[in-house]
Amino acid sequence: MTFSDFSLAPQLQSAVRRMGFDEPTAIQQEALPPALAGKDILASAETGSGKTAAFLLPIMERLLPMQRGATRALVIAPTRELAAQIAEHFRELAAGTRLTCAAIHGGVAMGAQERAFRKGVDMVVACPGRLLDHMRNVYADLSGIEYLVIDEADRMLDMGFLPDITRILAAVPRDRQTFFFSATLPPAIVELSRKMLRNPARLNIDRKPAPPSSITHAVFPVPSDRKSSLFLELLGKGISGSVLVFTRTKHRANRLADFLDKNGVQCARIHGNRSQSQRTAALAGFKQGRYQVLVATDIAARGIDVEALGSVVNFDVPHQPEDYIHRVGRTARAQLKGDAYTLVSPEEERDFDAIERALGHRLPRQKMEGFDYTSRPAERTAERAMERTRERPQGRKQGRQQERPREEPRSRAQSQSQPRHRSGGPAFRRGR
Ligand code: AMP
């Protein structure tokens, strides 16, 4: 199958050719026909599957013949990075057209975003909190929306955005075409999708999420306090190319990045305590190859789109199997090969067992020849003390996940008048 099998405008056909998309990915093959026919879409698809073009292309096809000057499409995404990337993807696909798009998210001034609303850009890609901030003003009028996309719905619910989404939905016309994307479909998501969609085409719904088969998994059992040194050793001897490293917490991300800096590794970091400009600079430097390593937490890395990412390293084992699948799915993008390394301390074996059960098979354990795996009592004590003092959960429901989203700083007036649904720390982990 090729893109010319779809009834897409010549400008969009040349855009996908220019971007090097030879053939549509699975989700694009499934989504484009019903979407172009005007049907609602419910899809379980992950970052890396080509889902962005799967909703952008049909919407752009519909927007092309329309008059400019009114916003007709709205995409809601959980994080700043994802919103910015979707807007960037739109601009690349729109290069041969006059279609316009704006990313609306926190961490940057409101002025340019207000101008985009007033100009009536064709598509707005927004994070929920900042969109609601704008919606307090008359210029942010969503009554002309004909196409609505909810991207990474499961992550938005995990981040506590359900009340925000409900308020946004109330301002969008019911008569519209809706695209609903979620990597996983727990009951709360199914319930939300039922409220939002009319007789949708259901894509990939029954397929168990699984990492792409082109990923090679390597698992290194190692004492917790030897992880940094082992990672350094792996960088020297095994891992090459760009590496995205996941840590469990912001503090562990900082600590690892400091260690790598000290040992001469070009390294950037991205997590919830970094300002928007720091995050943007880190991501840009990593994409340009200025930094070999990007250390990130799950929330901050959500949706990061880096071409030709050679390896993903789970410096800490994720608590949920689906997070493992999300993380390692960042490599082996668009049918390329990739490597996933996981450092497993004895305390993490149980979480890792659950991941292997979800994958349906055991992953090979490896040992780095010549590496000293002996735990250092002093380092272990320092690590424990640090974990106790710096990483104490802040909310009753927060459990073991410590990072809170910093996507959408709310205005003071609003945070006083709204229920503070995120103030006690969101339940990031389902069922916790
Ligand atoms: P997404 O899942 O939308 O974040 O896309 C993941 C990556 O795949 C992005 O870098 C896209 O530019 C790329 N991509 C999307 N569709 C295709 C395609 N049909 N062929 C090759 N690459 C694609």
Q: Residue 9: what pLDDT?
A: 96
85 CB under 6 A from ligand 1?
no
Span between the terminal Cα atoms of the chain, in Å: 43
Which residue has the least CA distance to atom 16 on ligand 1?
50
Give the model's pLDDT for residue 391.
44
Residue 246: φ, ψ to 5°: -105, 130
Mutate which of 3, 8, 19, 204 for ligand 1 pocket (most atoms within 8 A of beta carbon): 19
Q: What is the 3-state secondary structure (H, E, C) of the chain?
A: CCHHHCCCCHHHHHHHHHCCCCCCCHHHHHHHHHHHCCCCEEECCCCCCCHHHHHHHHHHHHHCCCCCCCCCEEEECCCHHHHHHHHHHHHHHCCCCCCCEEEECCCCCCHHHHHHHHHCCCEEEECHHHHHHHHCCCCCCCCCCCEEEECCHHHHHHCCCHHHHHHHHHCCCCCCEEEEECCCCCHHHHHHHHHHCCCCEEECCCCCCCCCCCEEEEEEECCHHHHHHHHHHHHHHCCCCCEEEEECCHHHHHHHHHHHHHCCCCEEEECCCCCHHHHHHHHHHHHCCCCCEEEEEHHHHCCCCCCCCCEEEECCCCCCHHHHHHHHCCCCHHHCCEEEEEEECHHHHHHHHHHHHHHCCCCCECCCCCCCCCCCHHHHHHHHHHHHHHCCCCCHHHCCCCCCCCCCCCCHHHHHHCCCCCCCCCCCCCCC
Pocket flag, ligand 1, residue 47 (CB < 6 Å): yes
- Residue 283: what pLDDT? 87
What's the CA-to-centroid distance between 165 and ligand 1, angstroms? 26
406 lines ligand 1 (CB under 6 A): no
What pLDDT is stored for residue 357 in this prediction?
A: 87
Is 135's C-beta closer than 6 angstroms to any atom of ligand 1?
no
CA geometry: angle 210, 230, 264, nearest 5 deg: 110
Mean pLDDT, rounded, for 309-327 = 87
The token pair at 111 is 């002025």
**What does the alpha-carbon distance between residue 277 and residue 126 come to, in Å, rounded to a whole number?**
18
The residue nearest atom 19 of ligand 1, judged by CA position, is 24
How confident is the model over 239-249, as a mean pLDDT? 89
pLDDT of residue 114: 98
Task: Give the separation between CA 7 and CA 33, rounded to whole angstroms.
Answer: 9
Least confident range from 2-11, 33-42, 89-98, 390-399: namely 390-399
The pLDDT > 90 percentage for the chain reads 57
Whole-angstrom distance, CA of residue 171 vs CA of residue 144: 10
All CATH 3.40.50.300 domain ranges in the chain, comma separated: 3-203, 215-389
User: In the predicted model, is pLDDT for residue 406 greater than 50?
Assistant: no
Pick 277 or 43 by higher pLDDT: 43
pLDDT at 402 over 70: no
In this prediction, residue 209 carries a pLDDT of 64
What mean pLDDT do residues 155-163 have?
89
**Least trusted range by pLDDT, from 94-98, 162-166, 379-383, 411-415:** 411-415
Q: Name the residue at shortest CA distance from atom 18 of ligand 1.
A: 21
pLDDT band at 152 (very low <50, low <70, confident <90, very high): very high
Between 96-100, 168-172, 204-208, the lowest mean confidence (pLDDT) is in 204-208
In terms of pLDDT, which residue wins out, 301 or 169? 169
The radius of gyration of the chain from alpha carbons, rounded to an integer in Å, stands at 22
**Cα of 334 to ligand 1 centre, how many Å?**
6
Q: What is the pLDDT of residues 182-192, one digit of tens each?
A: 988 888 899 99
What lies within 8 Å, CB to CB, of 101 at 6+ separation is 87, 90, 91, 94, 121, 122, 123, 124, 125
Give me the mean pLDDT over the 288-307 stretch.
80
CATH superfamily of 215-389: P-loop containing nucleotide triphosphate hydrolases (3.40.50.300)
pLDDT of 390 strictly over 90: no
> Within 13 Å, how many C-alpha atoms sit on residue 308's CB side?
8
Question: Could you tell me the pLDDT band of residue 382, with boundaries at 50, 70 and 90?
Answer: low
Strand pairing partners for 295?
245, 269
249-285 residue pLDDT tens: 989 999 999 999 999 999 999 887 788 888 888 888 9
Is the CB of residue 386 less than 8 Å from the CB of residue 378? no
Q: Average of pLDDT values for 154-169?
A: 92
Q: How confident is the model at residue 322 (pLDDT cuts 50, 70, 90)?
A: confident
Answer yes or no: is the C-beta of 121 below 6 A from any ligand 1 atom.
no
Closest-CA residue, ligand 1 atom 21, reads 21
User: Average pLDDT in the 133-162 region?
Assistant: 94
Instruction: Give me the pLDDT at residue 432, please.
Output: 24
Assess whether pLDDT exceeds 50 at residue 54. yes
Least confident of 179-188, 364-373, 377-386: 377-386
Q: Is 333 in the pocket of ligand 1 (CB under 6 A)?
A: yes
pLDDT at 241 over 70: yes
The domain covering 3-203 belongs, at the CATH homologous superfamily level, to: P-loop containing nucleotide triphosphate hydrolases (3.40.50.300)
Read off the pLDDT of each residue in 86-94 and give the average, rounded to a whole number.
Answer: 97
Q: Is 48 in the pocket of ligand 1 (CB under 6 A)?
A: yes
**pLDDT exceeds 70 at position 133:** yes
pLDDT at 307: 66
Q: 411 alpha carbon to ligand 1 midpoint, in Å?
A: 35
Give the pair of three-digit tokens for residue 158.
């995990």
For a mutational test of ligand 1's pocket, the pick from 4, 16, 23, 25, i.e. the residue with the most ligand atoms closer than 8 A to its C-beta, is 25
Q: Report which listed range, 8-12, 236-240, 277-281, 396-400, is most confident.
A: 8-12
Q: What is the pLDDT of residue 1?
A: 84
| pLDDT score for 178 | 98
394, pLDDT greater than 80: no
Query: Helix crossing, 51-63 with 10-18: angle to 10°?
Result: 150
Mean of per-residue pLDDT scores for the chain: 84
Q: Which residue has the tokens 């959980």?
A: 78
Question: How far, in Å, CA of 387 to CA of 385, rounded?
Answer: 5
* Bridge partners (DSSP) listed for residue 126: 76, 104
Q: Of residues 401 and 308, which shows the higher confidence score?
A: 308
Q: Minimum mean pLDDT among 93-107, 190-204, 220-234, 371-385: which range?
A: 371-385
Q: Name which residue sits closest to atom 6 of ligand 1, judged by CA.
A: 48
Nearest CA to ligand 1 atom 13: 50
Q: 52 CB under 6 A from ligand 1?
A: yes
